[in-house]
Amino acid sequence: MRPWHLGNTTVRSPFRLRDGLIVLSRSDLQGNLRGTENDATFRKLLGDSGLVSLGDDKTNSVGRKWRSALSQLGFIYSDKSNKDKIDHITPSGTRLISADSVPAIQECFLRSLICYQIPSLIEQKYSYKTFSPLRHVLKLLLFIEKNTDMEAFISFQEMAVIVQLSSPETPLDVIVEKIASFRKEKKIAINKRKFGQMSLTLTAREHGYVEQTFNDYSDTNIRYLKATGLFSGKGRGIALNPQKIFLINKLAEGKEIIYGDEDYLAMLSEGATLPTDNKSEALQELEDLTFQLEKFGVKYDASIANLAKPSNIAIVRHKVEELLGEQKEIEFAKRQASEWEEILTYFELIIDRKGAATLLEDNEIRLPKSEVPAYFEWALWRAFLAINKLKNPPYESRRFKVDQDILPIGNAPGNGPDLIFEFEDYVLVVEATLTDNSRQEAAEGEPVRRHVAQAINQYGETKPVFGLFIANQIDSNTAETFRSGVWYNTSDSKAELGIVPMTLIQFSSIFRFLFSNNKIDNRYILEVIKLCLDKKDEYTAPEWKGKINYIVANCQMLCKNCNRTKSGI
């Protein structure tokens, strides 16, 4: 039996599809995505935009697979559509491009995936009777929650060897019994990792696929299901998102409609209607969300808003969801000091370019190559949340978006710093890059200096502003740019910039020292930065890099000396 999957494994992060649509909308490739030449052009467009790593792909398969993912979800018209529309952006795709908040983006994916069905005219290689994978998983989780004493979630392994091989043709209680049996056998297994691997091996053998296929599909399915906002992470698996329980119940109650070919293509390109497109139900969900927000001690008066139409209510609802996310982020920030070892594990993965690391028995961290840049920024953000004492709220200290589990869904956009932290005594602009060769200075030298200069203009004379540039390797030309450290404003006034280039290994060692020795104070970071900047004009760039390395290597001694400095540490 063929396991079902959403999207494709080339575009594992669904949120990247929006970036691809934006790039496509600004090009002249709409309607011209087919054929060898256009495959190559689309691939280059995605590569030049930083969405894919071009590598050595002589078949230009990346372009074809991105086109396939976009058409499967209805964001561009498929080759089954009217000849004049093929490969043009659909209304559903236009809606996704226009979505400017995480809740709005997630609603676009929900509208796509709630009507997405397999097999279909677009995807015919399945032996199941036509069904909606999203509704199937929703009903399965609700059944577990309401009819069993098991915890209502689907683990990564359960998705791999059970759920993605099931459909509504099999009664829910039969599928749940398989999950219960799997959990029972795993619980008593002496070697749980070996048990999981054996389950995968037997499933692959039974269905005639290589083992990795099941893992790849499980990973992709979980990511795309989470992109709807209806699910939260549970380890590497998923559970129902309690924030969305009103909408979840409404969708599960609704009768599943199996569309004919023509109607399916039309529905997919427009995006499905949702219960919240009805005014009374939209108001009910808004009421539920505001009630959840009040549990955090935050009141939102929706009565002053224009609630005449469902579209108006949606704007308010997305705002309330953002406020809920901010409150959850504050709680997340408070936990980071106790999770410092996990943060270090992410640093190690980024440094070593490894794919996975196991912290606990059922908590395996995976870091796909395409997502390393986003997780680099995210891990650094978490590090400074752990160091704490921020004056600006956590959601204002980052410029990348996060999902309902506070996981990154992309990099920080341009025209501003990746991270900016305001402390009592100073402001720190943090920039991260994976570029580590001679192109580093060209790509980062001007933007980093500009961003620090902008922060100086913003904070004026109130607090000193420093910059911290972190990469796996520091090119000497980059170090020279920051060593000279000047910026001329439009008025030709000169700003002196204090920017320290540091490798991730160096920053990690400082971070480890602070937490291992219970010296968790942002003023230690300030002291190290000042020591690195002291008399920097007397050094060449390579010498300055050596000085920075010496200071970091002797962090323990220097931090002891900090007790006698004016900083008051």
- Decide: 293 and 325 in contact? Cβ < 8 Å: no
Angle between helical axes of 15-25 and 102-113 (0-180°, round to 10): 90
Q: CATH classification of 133-255, choosing from 1.10.10.2090, 1.20.1600.10, 1.20.210.10, 3.40.50.720? A: 1.10.10.2090
Query: Would you list the domain boundaries of the chain?
Result: 1-123+261-272, 133-255, 285-330, 334-564
**What pLDDT score was predicted for residue 362?**
57
d(CA 342, CA 359): 7
Question: If we measure between CA atoms, which residue out of 37, 36, 42, 124 comes closest to residue 76?
Answer: 42
Mean pLDDT of 158-185: 96
| Residue in the structure block whose two tokens are 């999203």 | 134
For residue 380, what pLDDT is reported? 98
Q: Is the pLDDT of residue 565 over 60?
A: no
Confidence class for position 557, pLDDT limits 50, 70, 90: low
What is the mean pLDDT of the segment spanning 392-416? 93
The pLDDT of 360-368, averaged and rounded, is 70
Instruction: Tell me how many degrees the CA angle 91-9-248 measures, rounded to the nearest 5.
Output: 55
Q: What is the pLDDT of residues 80-127, one digit of tens each?
A: 988 889 999 999 999 999 999 999 999 999 999 999 999 999 998 898
Structure tokens at 134: 């999203």
Interatomic CA distance for residues 321 and 59, integer angstroms: 43
pLDDT, averaged across the chain:
91
Is the separation of the CB atoms in 118 and 4 below 8 Å? yes
pLDDT (mean) for 306-323: 92
Residue 357 has pLDDT above 80, yes or no: no
What number is the average pLDDT over the span 407-418? 90
**Prediction pTM value:** 0.91
Mean pLDDT of 179-185: 96
**Could you read off the pLDDT of 245-286 as tens digits, one per residue?**
999 999 998 778 888 999 999 999 999 999 999 999 999 999
Q: What is the pLDDT of residue 558?
A: 56
Side-chain-side CA neighbours of residue 463 (13 Å) = 17
Annotate 244-283 with DSSP letters as a single string: GHHHHHHHHHSPPP---HHHHHHHHHH----GGGSHHHHH
Burial class (CB in 10 A: 0-12, 13-18, 19+), 43: buried
pLDDT of residue 568: 33
pLDDT in tens, 474-531: 999 999 999 998 999 888 988 899 999 999 999 999 999 999 988 889 999 999 999 9
Across residues 210-236, what is the average pLDDT?
94
Q: Which CATH class for the 334-564 domain? A: alpha beta
Q: Which residues pair with 496 in a beta bridge?
A: 486
pLDDT band with cut points at 50, 70 and 90 for residue 379 = very high
